[in-house]
Amino acid sequence: MRFTGKVALVTGAGQGMGQAIAQRLAMEGAQVVAADIRGEAAQATANSCQGTGHMGVALDVSKSDAVRALFGEIEQRYRGIHILVNNAGIGSAPNDGFPKLLERLGQRGAQMAKGETPTVFPDLIIDMEDEGWHGVMGVNLHGAFYCLRESVRLMVKAGIKGSLINISSTSAMSGEGGLHYVTSKAALHGLTKALARELGPRGIRINNVVPGPTNTPMMQSVGEDWIRSMIAAIPLGRMAEPDDIARVVAFLASDDAAMVTGQDVVANGGSYFK
Q: What distance lies between CA 98 and its chain's CA centroid? A: 20
Map residue 51 onto helix, strand or coil: coil
Can you tell me the distance from the alpha carbon of 8 to that of 10, in angstroms, rounded to the nearest whole number?
6
264-267 and 31-36 beta bridge pairing = unpaired
Amino acid at 185: K
The answer to whether 146 is a known catalytic residue is no
Can you tell me the distance from the alpha carbon of 130 to that of 6, in angstroms, rounded to the nearest whole number?
40
Cα–Cα distances (Å) from 221 to 47, 217, 244, in that order, read: 27, 7, 21
Q: How many of the other CB atoms lie within 10 Å of CB of 258?
A: 11
Q: Pick the closest to residue 18 from 111, 143, 130 (CA basis).
A: 143
Instruction: DSSP letter for 13, please.
Output: T
* Phi, psi angles (nearest 5°) of residue 11: -90, 160
To which H or E segment does residue 175 belong? none
Q: Is the Cβ–Cβ distance between 39 and 61 less than 8 Å?
A: no
Q: Is the Cβ–Cβ distance between 60 and 37 less than 8 Å?
A: yes
Set 78, 146, 181, 272: catalytic member: 181
Looking at the annotation, which residues are catalytic?
Answer: 181
